[in-house]
C-alpha cells in the first residue's frame, strides 16, 4: 500500500499496530498495509534473494543483501555517552504515528539494514538487537549483519524484559518522544519504572544526527483542492470544530491536531510527502479565536497564503509557523492562564503530550474532533467518491479481461499483473497514482494475506491456481481499495466452497440492517459466520475506513473494538477472507457506504450500499450454499454494476470490457430455482415433440 518509495518495505510506519487492532477472537493479524489493508499491504517474510547470514561460521557469512552497520553503531553509541543513557530505542514510525512513513523517516531501516514494516531496535554500548514478528524473520536474517541479534518477538513486553535483564537498575533508556504514541509510552513506562529503569525523553533524534545522506524533504509544495470536490470550505470546517469545542462540557480552549490527515482535511489541502498518501508534514493548533499552522513555510506558495488568509489576525486567519517550532510554541501557549488543550491520544505523540501539564490544562479523547467529524462524508464527498469507484471499476475490469486472455499463454507474472492494473488506473480521469502497493498473489503466495510481489518472488500466473489481486487508486475525487479472487481453470470443490463462504460473509454484512450508532465490532461476526459453520476462519480484520483522496485506511471507521459507531455517510471496507497455507487464498473486498434503511416499523436504521462495482468470479460461486436472500442481493448487485459501470465502459469505448461485464453479471439462480427452470425448459422442449407424435 510503494512502487514510488525508495524503501518499499519501510513505509508502513505503524501499519502493524493499526492493523493488529483489527484482529478479533484472538486472531493475530499477519498483514501490513504499505499498507501498505490491511496495511494493509506488505511484502511477505519470504521476500529477498540469496541465503541468510551465518554468524557462527568462520569467517561469518553475510549474504549480499546484508548491510554493514559497524560505523553507524559506533557513531550512535558515541552520541549516547554524553546523554548518560545505557540504551536507545528506535521504532519504525514517524512523528505523526502514520501508517506509512516517508523514506527520510525510515530510521530503523538505515540503522539496521532491516527494511521490514514492523520492528523495533534497541542499542546499548555492547549489543544491538532487532525485534520483529514472524513475517519478517527470514527477511531480517538476510538484511542485518552480525552486529545484530534478532529477537523473534514484536511485543513491548519482550523489549522491556530484555532491557531489565541487560541494563542495571537506575540506568536510563533513551527514546525519541516524537516516535512514541501516548499509549506505547505508557506500556514501556509501566513495565520499566517498577524495575527502576528510567525512560529519558530525547526530542533531538540521535539517528538523524549521524545519518549521512538522509533523504531531504520532497520538493512538492502542498496544493489546495479544487472547488469542484469541496462542499465545506476550510472556514466552515473550522467553525464546525469550534462548535464542538464550545459544546464540550470541559471547555477546551484549543485543539491540537497531530495526524497528517487532520490538518490536510481541515484546510482542504493535499501534499506529496508520504508514499501513496497525499499528506504533507504539519501540525495545527486551533483555538476559539486563532489558528496556528506548523509547516515548512518555504513550501507555502503566495497563492496558498492568500487562500489561508495569512496576512490578517482575526479568528479566520491562519498564522504560519515553522514545523519544527510546534513543541516550543505549544509550551508557550500552555503558560497562558486558563487554557486547556484537547488532544486525541491515538495520534498524539509523547513529545507534545508530555508538555501539557498540569492535568487541568489537558483534555483527552481517543480521537480528536477532526477525526470523528471527517469520518462522516458530506453529500459532495459521497457523490464524488462513488464516481471515483465507477472509473476505478473500469480499470479493474480491464485487468481481469486482460488476464483472461494472457494467463493461458503462460507469459504473465504476479508483478506484470500488478503493473498492468496500475497503468489502467493511471489512464482514468483524476488519477493520482495507486493508494498502496498492489497485492498480486497466485497460488501459495495468496495464502500470505498481504504479500506483494517482487522480482525475486513473483510467480508466473497459471490457469491451475487461484489468483488474488488487492489494489487501489488515488483520485482527485476519491480513494479506492478493492480485492477480487479468480480462477481461470478448474477450481476444486473446496476452493469453491471457501470462496462461496467468504462471499456469503461479505453479503451478510452488506445486507444487514442495524440501528444508527451500532458499533462495527457488534456485527463483525456476520462476515465470519459462514466460515465458522465449517470450521474455517481468517486472521485479519474485516474492514477499515476509507478517505476522499486520503489514506486507504482511514481511522476511526471500521469493525474493530476501538472504532466509533456507524453513522450515515461513513465509508468502510468489507473484506472477509480465507487462507489455506501453501495452497491458496481468498479475499473479497468491497467499499460500502452507510445509508438509511427502510424498515416496517422503525426509523433511524442503516444498511450498507456497496460502491465497489466489479463482478465476482462466477466459476467459484456454489449457489447451492447461498440463501434466497443472498442470491437476491447478488443479483441486485449485478444489476447495479450494469447500470452504473456499463455507461462508463461505453463512454470510454471499451466494447470488449463491456461484453465481459455483461457476461459476468448475468442473473444467478439458486440451486432449487435452477432445477425448476431446467425442468420447465425440458417440458417446453419435449412437449411439442410428443404432441406432434400423437397427431401423427
Please provide residue 174's backbone torsions phi and psi, each rounded to the nearest 5 degrees.
Answer: -85, 150
More confident residue, 451 or 631: 631
Per-residue pLDDT at 38 exceeds 60: no
Q: How many domains does the chain have?
A: 3
Tell whether 4 is covered by a domain: no
181 and 104 inside one domain: yes
Helix runs in 376-528, H state only: 379-406, 414-426, 493-511
Tell whether 314 is covered by a domain: yes
Please provide residue 475's backbone torsions phi and psi, each rounded to the nearest 5 degrees.
Answer: -130, 155
Residue 434 cell numbers, joined? 495507486
Residue 221, classified by CB atoms within 10 Å of its CB into exposed (0-12), middle (13-18) or buried (19+), is middle
574 and 430 inside one domain: yes
Reduced to 3 states, what is the DSSP secondary structure of residue 321? strand
What would the pLDDT profile of 222-242 be if each residue is shown by its tens digit?
999 999 999 999 999 999 999
- Peptide bond before residue 493 is cis, with ω within 30 degrees of 0: no
Mean pLDDT of 149-169: 96
Per-residue pLDDT at 33 exceeds 50: no
Tell whether 98 is covered by a domain: yes
Confidence of residue 117 (pLDDT cuts 50, 70, 90): confident
What would the pLDDT profile of 379-397 be if each residue is shown by its tens digit?
999 999 999 999 999 999 9
The whole-number pLDDT of residue 455 equals 84
367 and 463 inside one domain: no
Confidence of residue 20 (pLDDT cuts 50, 70, 90): very low
Residue 63 cell numbers, joined? 549474504
Mean pLDDT of 552-567: 95
CA 105/CA 130 separation, integer angstroms: 17
DSSP-assigned states of every residue in 259-270:
SHHHHHHHHTEE
For residue 14, give the nearest of 95, 104, 110 by alpha carbon: 95
Per-residue pLDDT at 26 exceeds 90: no
CA 624/CA 669 separation, integer angstroms: 9
DSSP-assigned states of every residue in 390-403:
HHHHHHHHHHHHHH
368 and 392 inside one domain: no
Tell whether 274 is covered by a domain: yes
Alpha-carbon distances, residue 74 vs 71, 141, 210 (angstroms): 5, 21, 10
The whole-number pLDDT of residue 671 equals 56
Reduced to 3 states, what is the DSSP secondary structure of residue 337? coil
Alpha-carbon distances, residue 444 vs 400, 414, 417, 605 (angstroms): 20, 12, 17, 42
136 and 199 inside one domain: yes
> What is the pTM assigned to this prediction?
0.86
Which of these three, 584, 612, 640, is where a domain ends? 612
Residue 544 cell numbers, joined? 477499515
Tell whether 17 is covered by a domain: no
What would the pLDDT profile of 302-326 be if each residue is shown by its tens digit?
999 999 999 888 999 999 999 999 9
Alpha-carbon distances, residue 437 vs 7, 458, 480, 552, 683 (angstroms): 12, 14, 13, 11, 54
DSSP-assigned states of every residue in 122-136:
EEESS-EEEE--GGG
Per-residue pLDDT at 211 exceeds 80: yes
437 and 355 inside one domain: no
Tell whether 176 is covered by a domain: yes
For residue 588, give the nearest of 669, 436, 481, 463 by alpha carbon: 481
Q: How many CB atoms lie within 10 A of CB 239?
A: 13
The whole-number pLDDT of residue 142 equals 87
What would the pLDDT profile of 462-517 be if each residue is shown by its tens digit?
999 999 999 999 999 999 999 999 999 999 999 999 999 999 999 999 999 999 99
- Peptide bond before residue 423 is cis, with ω within 30 degrees of 0: no
Task: Give me the CATH number covering residue 586.
Answer: 3.90.230.10
CA 234/CA 242 separation, integer angstroms: 12
Residue 210 cell numbers, joined? 549521524
Which of these three, 562, 596, 612, is where a domain ends? 612
What would the pLDDT profile of 412-437 be if each residue is shown by its tens digit?
999 999 999 999 999 999 999 999 99
pLDDT averaged over every residue in the chain: 89
CA 487/CA 465 separation, integer angstroms: 6
Alpha-carbon distances, residue 321 vs 32, 236, 273, 300, 318 (angstroms): 34, 22, 18, 11, 9
Per-residue pLDDT at 631 exceeds 90: yes
The whole-number pLDDT of residue 240 equals 98
The whole-number pLDDT of residue 550 equals 95
Residue pair 478/548 in contact by the 8 Å Cβ criterion: yes
Q: In which element (H, E) is residue 663 found? A: helix 655-664
364 and 387 inside one domain: no
Which of these three, 586, 612, 638, is where a domain ends? 612
CA 85/CA 202 separation, integer angstroms: 10
Measured N-to-C along each axis, helices 379-406 and 414-426 cross at an angle, to the nearest 10 degrees, of 140
485 and 468 inside one domain: yes
The whole-number pLDDT of residue 43 equals 32
What would the pLDDT profile of 129-146 be if each residue is shown by its tens digit?
999 987 678 888 989 999
The whole-number pLDDT of residue 116 equals 82
Confidence of residue 118 (pLDDT cuts 50, 70, 90): confident
Structural domain range at position 89: 69-210
Per-residue pLDDT at 204 exceeds 70: yes
Q: How many CB atoms lie within 10 A of CB 640?
A: 15
Contacts of 328 (CB under 8 A, 6+ apart): none
Mean pLDDT of 46-64: 77
Please provide residue 52's backbone torsions phi and psi, each rounded to the nearest 5 degrees.
Answer: -90, 165
- List the 439-442 sheet strands across, edge first: 439-442, 466-471, 482-487
CA 491/CA 488 separation, integer angstroms: 8
Identify the bridge partners of residue 571 per DSSP, sorted by sequence position.
593
| DSSP 8-state secondary structure symbol assigned to residue 447 | G
CA 100/CA 379 separation, integer angstroms: 29
The whole-number pLDDT of residue 99 equals 84
Q: In which element (H, E) is residue 688 found? A: helix 671-695
234 and 337 inside one domain: yes
- Please state the length of the chain: 696
Residue pair 446/371 in contact by the 8 Å Cβ criterion: no
Per-residue pLDDT at 681 exceeds 70: no
Tell whether 136 is covered by a domain: yes
Measured N-to-C along each axis, helices 628-651 and 493-511 cross at an angle, to the nearest 10 degrees, of 90
262 and 398 inside one domain: no
650: left (phi over 0), alpha (psi -120 to 50) or beta: alpha
- Peptide bond before residue 318 is cis, with ω within 30 degrees of 0: no
Task: Give me the CATH number covering residue 297.
Answer: 3.40.350.10
CA 635/CA 226 separation, integer angstroms: 37
387 and 528 inside one domain: yes
114 and 141 inside one domain: yes
CA 627/CA 620 separation, integer angstroms: 16
| DSSP 8-state secondary structure symbol assigned to residue 61 | B
DSSP-assigned states of every residue in 338-375:
T--EEEETTT-BHHHHTT--SGGGEEEESS-HHHHHHT
Mean pLDDT of 190-199: 97
Identify the bridge partners of residue 341 per DSSP, sorted by sequence position.
254, 362
Residue 522: how many CA atoms within 13 Å on its side-chain side?
Answer: 11
With a pLDDT cut of 70, the percent of the chain lying above it is 89
Angle at 245 between CA 242 and CA 246, to 5 degrees: 90
Reduced to 3 states, what is the DSSP secondary structure of residue 277? strand
What Rg, from alpha-carbon coordinates, does the chain have?
A: 27
Tell whether 29 is covered by a domain: no
CA 385/CA 382 separation, integer angstroms: 5
Contacts of 239 (CB under 8 A, 6+ apart): none
Amino acid at each position: 500500500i510503494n512502487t514510488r518509495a525508495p524503501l518499499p518495505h519501510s513505509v508502513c510506519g505503524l501499519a502493524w499496530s493499526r492493523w493488529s487492532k483489527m484482529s478479533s477472537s484472538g486472531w493475530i493479524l499477519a498483514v501490513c498495509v504499505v499498507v501498505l489493508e490491511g496495511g494493509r499491504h506488505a511484502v511477505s517474510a519470504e521476500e529477498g534473494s540469496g541465503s541468510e547470514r551465518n554468524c557462527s561460521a568462520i569467517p561469518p557469512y553475510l549474504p549480499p543483501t546484508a548491510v554493514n552497520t559497524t560505523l553507524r553503531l559506533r557513531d550512535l553509541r558515541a552520541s549516547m555517552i554524553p546523554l548518560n543513557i545505557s540504551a536507545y530505542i528506535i521504532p519504525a514510525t514517524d512523528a505523526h504515528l502514520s501508517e506509512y512513513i516517508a523514506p527520510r523517516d525510515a530510521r530503523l531501516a538505515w540503522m539496521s539494514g532491516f527494511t521490514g514494516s514492523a520492528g523495533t531496535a534497541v542499542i546499548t554500548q555492547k549489543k544491538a538487537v532487532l525485534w520483529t514478528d514472524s513475517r519478517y524473520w527470514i527477511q531480517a536474517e538476510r538484511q542485518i549483519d552480525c552486529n545484530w541479534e534478532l529477537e523473534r518477538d514484536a511485543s513491548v513486553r519482550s523489549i522491556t524484559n530484555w532491557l531489565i535483564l541487560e541494563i542495571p537498575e537506575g540506568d536510563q533508556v533513551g527514546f525519541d518522544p516524537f516516535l512514541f504514541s501516548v499509549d506505547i509510552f505508557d506500556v514501556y513506562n509501566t513495565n520499566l519504572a517498577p524495575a527502576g529503569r528510567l525512560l529519558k525523553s530525547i526530542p533531538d533524534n540521535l539517528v538523524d544526527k549521524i545519518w549521512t545522506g538522509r533523504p531531504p524533504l520532497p520538493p512538492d509544495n502542498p496544493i489546495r483542492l479544487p472547488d469542484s470536490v469541496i462542499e465545506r470550505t476550510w472556514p466552515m470546517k473550522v467553525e464546525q470544530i469550534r462548535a464542538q469545542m464550545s459544546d464540550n462540557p470541559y471547555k477546551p480552549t484549543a485543539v491540537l491536531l497531530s495526524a497528517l490527515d487532520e490538518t490536510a482535511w481541515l484546510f482542504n489541502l493535499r501534499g506529496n510527502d508520504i508514499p501513496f498518501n497525499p499528506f504533507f508534514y504539519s501540525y495545527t493548533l486551533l483555538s476559539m479565536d486563532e489558528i496556528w499552522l506548523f509547516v515548512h513555510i518555504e513550501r507555502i506558495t503566495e497563492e496558498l497564503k492568500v487562500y489561508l488568509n495569512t496576512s490578517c489576525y482575526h479568528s479566520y486567519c491562519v498564522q504560519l509557523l515553522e514545523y519544527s517550532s510546534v513543541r516550543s510554541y505549544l509550551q508557550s501557549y500552555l503558560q497562558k492562564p486558563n487554557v486547556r488543550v484537547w488532544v486525541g491520544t491515538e495520534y498524539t505523540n509523547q513529545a507534545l503530550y508530555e508538555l501539557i501539564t498540569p492535568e487541568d490544562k489537558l483534555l483527552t479523547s481517543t480521537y480528536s474532533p477532526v477525526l470523528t467529524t471527517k469520518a462522516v462524508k458530506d453529500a459532495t464527498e459521497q457523490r464524488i467518491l462513488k464516481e471515483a469507484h465507477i472509473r476505478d471499476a473500469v480499470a479493474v475490469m480491464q485487468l481481469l479481461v486482460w488476464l483472461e486472455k494472457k494467463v493461458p499463454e503462460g507469459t504473465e507474472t504476479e508483478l506484470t499483473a500488478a503493473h498492468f492494473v496500475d497503468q489502467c488506473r493511471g489512464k482514468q480521469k483524476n488519477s493520482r497514482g495507486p493508494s498502496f502497493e498492489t497485492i498480486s498473489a497466485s497460488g501459495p503466495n495468496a495464502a500470505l494475506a498481504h504479500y506483494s510481489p517482487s522480482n525475486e518472488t513473483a510467480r508466473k500466473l497459471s490457469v491451475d491456481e487461484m489468483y488474488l489481486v488487492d489494489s487501489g487508486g488515488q483520485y482527485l475525487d476519491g480513494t479506492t481499495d478493492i480485492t477480487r479472487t479468480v480462477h481461470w481453470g478448474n477450481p476444486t470443490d473446496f476452493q469453491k466452497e471457501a470462496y462461496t463462504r467468504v462471499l456469503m460473509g461479505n453479503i451478510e454484512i452488506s445486507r444487514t440492517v442495524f440501528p444508527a450508532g451500532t458499533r462495527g465490532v457488534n456485527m463483525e461476526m456476520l462476515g465470519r459466520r459462514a466460515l465458522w459453520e465449517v470450521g474455517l476462519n481468517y486472521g485479519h480484520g474485516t474492514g477499515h475506513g476509507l478517505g476522499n483522496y486520503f489514506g486507504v485506511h482511514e481511522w476511526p471507521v471500521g469493525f474493530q473494538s476501538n472504532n466509533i459507531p456507524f453513522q450515515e455517510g461513513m465509508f468502510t471496507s468489507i473484506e472477509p477472507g480465507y487462507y489455506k497455507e501453501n495452497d491458496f487464498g481468498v479475499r473479497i473486498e468491497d467499499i460500502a457506504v452507510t445509508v438509511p434503511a427502510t424498515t416496517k416499523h422503525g426509523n433511524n436504521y442503516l444498511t450498507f450500499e456497496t460502491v465497489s462495482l466489479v463482478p465476482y468470479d462466477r466459476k467459484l460461486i456454489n449457489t447451492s450454499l447461498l440463501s434466497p436472500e443472498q442470491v437476491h442481493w447478488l443479483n441486485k448487485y449485478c444489476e447495479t454494476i450494469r447500470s452504473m459501470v456499463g455507461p462508463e465502459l461505453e463512454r470510454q469505448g471499451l466494447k470488449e470490457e463491456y461484453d465481459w461485464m455483461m457476461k459476468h453479471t448475468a442473473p444467478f439462480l439458486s440451486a432449487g430455482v435452477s432445477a425448476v427452470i431446467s425442468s420447465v425448459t425440458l417440458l417446453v422442449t419435449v412437449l411439442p415433440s410428443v404432441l406432434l407424435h400423437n397427431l401423427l
